[in-house]
Amino acid sequence: MVTDKEFPDRKEKNILFRVLRFDPEKDSAPRTQEYKVPVVTGMTVLEALYYIKEHLDGSLAFRCSCRMGICGSCGMFINNMPRLACHTQVFHLETGTVEIKPLPNYDIIRDLVPDLTPLFEKHNSIKPYIIKEDESLDKEPEEYLQSNEELEEYLQFAYCLKCGLCMSACPTVASDKEFLGPQPLGQAYRYLADNRDCSKDRKLLVDNAHGVWRCHMAGACSEACPKGVDPAMGAQLLKKKIIFGGRKKTAKPAGTQINPERKPNISNAPERTINK
């Protein structure tokens, strides 16, 4: 227990949590339940939910895993904004009441647990992986060289957690269930901008009636993204690539470089664990 002497700025205050509850097997409609939580400085919304579950109501359902903004599983609608519960300190919300609902634009599995199946299906549909020209499985995997500039082309978009906050913020996803949405569009750009990727049909997957042209750049997705990915920008860059085409793929297998110089102080790669 931290004492006031060790941490003089420590605050403690009772905060009212208004949490949406819904069990599709028992309830005909969602309802709101209130809990009073003694919040201390630094406490996150996720920790407050754990307090409710452990001390006030064990039946509350929510989803989380890493508790450090990495796994993307604790997305919720907190005070009318899609946010990660583990990444949101209660006092930073600067309010005496915290309202928590499941992410909009998804069906509810129970309480604060949304059904993210559409997100993962749409994400899979744009083939979110590097596709090489020669896809034969018996080909030995190769290491490819990439300059810092080539990495910068897509790096920002590679920080996507697949938390789905952007999809719940998007007004077009709300009105067109078939619209691919900001997460898949941002990731389609991520792979098109990667000079190791040779996919010929990824552009076709997003260049259709419910694809990239439905994005009218509301920008809510980029505001909601907890990692600064900016999927709205990704969608606009994707449009540019479809209209004007892209640069020629240039990544060369590492073996083609002649006498590459190892940077100082970088240790050798570990021995192979599988023999050819």
Where along the sequence are the contacts to ligand FES (CB under 6 A)? 64-67, 69-74, 84, 86
Structure-block tokens of residue 136 = 């034969």
Dihedral angle, C-alpha 235, 109, 73, 151, nearest 10 °: -20
Strands (E) across 94-253 are located at: 97-101, 108-110, 113-114
Nearer to ligand FES (CB atom), residue 44 or residue 146: 44
**Three-class DSSP category at 34:** strand
Under 8 Å between Cβ of 122 and 164: no
Q: Which is nearer to ligand FES, 111 or 197 (CB)?
A: 111
Which pair of structure tokens corresponds to residue 184? 């898949």
Nearest CA-CA partner of 84 in 98, 99, 64: 64
CB–CB of 130/197 below 8 Å? Answer: yes
The residue (of 86 and 166) whose beta carbon lies closer to ligand FES is 86
Handedness of CA 199, 203, 204, 206 (dihedral sign): positive
**Nearest CA-CA partner of 197 in 154, 139, 135, 249:** 249
